[in-house]
Amino acid sequence: MFMVSRLKDFTIITSRLRHYFRNMDVKELKPPSSVRGMQELQREQFRKIVQVPRLRVPESKVQRVMPLVKKFLLKMEHLHPVRAVDQSREILLHPTPVKNWESLPTEDLQRQKVNAENFSFADLELRYENWSANEILKSVLPTEEEGLTSYSRIGHIAHLNLRDHLLPYKQLIGQVLRDKLPNCRTVVNKASSIDNTYRNFQLELICGDPNYQVETKENGVPFEFDFSKVYWNPRLSTEHERIVKMLKSDDVLYDVFAGVGPFSVPAAKKRCHVLANDLNPESFRWLQHNAKRNKCMPNIKMSNKDGRQFIVEELREDLIKRLCTTDTTTYAIHITMNLPAMAVEFLDAFRGLYSADELAQLPTNVCYPTVHVYSFAKGENTKELVRQLVESNLGAVLDENLLQGINFVRNVAPNKDMYRVSFKLSLNLLTTLKEVEVTRKRCAEEELEVPTKVKYV
C-alpha cells in the first residue's frame, strides 16, 4: 500500500511539474506589448527575439539526457524543443525553472558526459504561430475589461456571444480563432437574443465561409443540421446524457420540443419507443434526417406541430392506450419539455387531458409519466423561483408525492439559471382542469373586488 501511495503521489507531482511553467507568466515568452489594442490582425507584429537556455548534446546521448531534462523543456505552439544542429541536438529549456547550469540535475548530466560547456543562452525567434488563441487574445484585448471567456464549437463553426466592449475586436477575434482552432472554417457571433418563433440563433458571420451545415457528435451520436436555422447548444450535452441514461430499452419518451433530436435520437437508438415533435420545419427535417442516419426509424414517430397541439393529440392518444392496455409497472414513461424560455406555459395542457370516465378503469398500480420541464429563473433564490413558476403554470402544488427533483442545469447569465423540474403526473392532474382565477368580495360591506386564486389541487 505504501509503494502504491508513493507511486500515486509521484505521478501527481510529475504531472503538475509538467504543466507548472506557464509561458504567459514569463515576460520574455509573452507576445510583444505593442500588440495591445490591435483591432486588425497583423501577424508579423508578433515577431520577437528572446534569449532562452539550451543544452547542446551529441546525437548519441540524446536518449539518455532527455529523461533528465524532460520537465524543463520549453513547450510552445509549433515549436520543437529538440532540434538538429550539425551532428548534435539542441534542447530548448524553459527560462522559469532554468536560470543557469546549476538549475539542472548537474550530477546526473555529468555522468552522461554533459557539463556546463554544453549549456548556454541563445536567441530564439518567436512568431504568431508560437502562441495559442487564448495567449494571442489575452495580449491584444483590453486589460481593464473582461476578455473572451468562452465560445462554442459546433462542427467546423466557432460560435461566440461577444459583449459590447469586444465588438470592435470581433474581426480580429474571428481570424485568430479560425487560425488556431483545429478544423475551424467559420466564426459567427450571436447577433441578438433568441426571440423568434422557432427559437434559433440569429447569427452574424465575422470570419470564414458562410457555410452553416455542420456535422457533429454528442455523446457518441452523430448529428447533422443547418446551425443557422435550428437551435443547438453543445453546453447541454451533459444534460442530454443524463436524461438518456435514465431510459432503458422499451421505455417511452414523449419529446415535446425535440429540436434536431438530442434526446429523441439517442433514446430511439436504445430501443425506446419515442414520439418526437418540433414546430420548426427545419428542425423537423433534420430530426428525420438524424433518425435515418442513426438507423433508429422503427423506434421513433415524428411530428411537426405546436407543442400544445402535440400534447393534446399525439401524446394524448398514445398515452391512454398505454395506460389502459399495458402493464406500466414494467417500463417507464418520460416527457421532456426542453424549451426553457416558455415550456412551463404548456404545462396546463396536461390538466384535464382526459375525462374521469376515460381513466376510470385504470388499475390501482398504474405508473404515470414523469415530466421533465426546463425553465430559466432570474433572481436571488432561483431554485425556489423555478418551483413557483412550474406550480403556477401547472396549477398544482408539487408535494412529495409528485416532485421528483429540481436539478440545476447551467448558469446562463448573472443571476439567471436554467433548471430541470421533474415531477409525476397523476390521475387528478390528468382529469381535472386547472383552476381559473376567481374574484370575491373582501367583505360584505366593501364593493372592492380582490382577485385571488383557488387553492391548488
- Residue stretches of the annotated binding site: 240, 278-279, 306-307, 338
Q: How far apart are CA 354 and CA 413, in angstroms?
A: 39
Binding site feature residues for S-adenosyl-L-methionine:
240, 278-279, 306-307, 338
Q: Are 121 and 94 in contact (CB under 8 A)?
A: no
**Residue 364 class from Cβ within 10 Å (0-12 exposed, 13-18 middle, 19+ buried)?**
exposed
Query: Which amino acid, one-letter code, is at 243?
Result: I
Spatial strand order of the sheet with 48-58 comes to 82-85, 88-92, 48-58, 119-126
Cell of 301: 414517430
Other C-beta atoms closer than 10 Å to the C-beta of 366 total: 15
> Which residues, in sequence order, are bridge partners of residue 223?
216
3-state secondary structure of 302: strand
Angle, vertex CA 333, rays to CA 330 and CA 337, nearest 5 = 165
**Residue 437 class from Cβ within 10 Å (0-12 exposed, 13-18 middle, 19+ buried)?**
exposed
Q: How far apart are CA 77 and CA 425, in angstroms?
A: 55
Helix (H), strand (E) at residue 50: strand 48-58
> Which residues, in sequence order, are bridge partners of residue 451?
439
Cell of 49: 527575439
Cell of 445: 360591506
Q: How far apart are CA 55 and CA 400, in angstroms?
A: 69
Residues 6+ apart with CB under 8 A from 42: none
3-state secondary structure of 449: strand
3-state secondary structure of 397: coil
> 434: which DSSP letter?
P
> Which residues, in sequence order, are bridge partners of residue 91?
55, 82
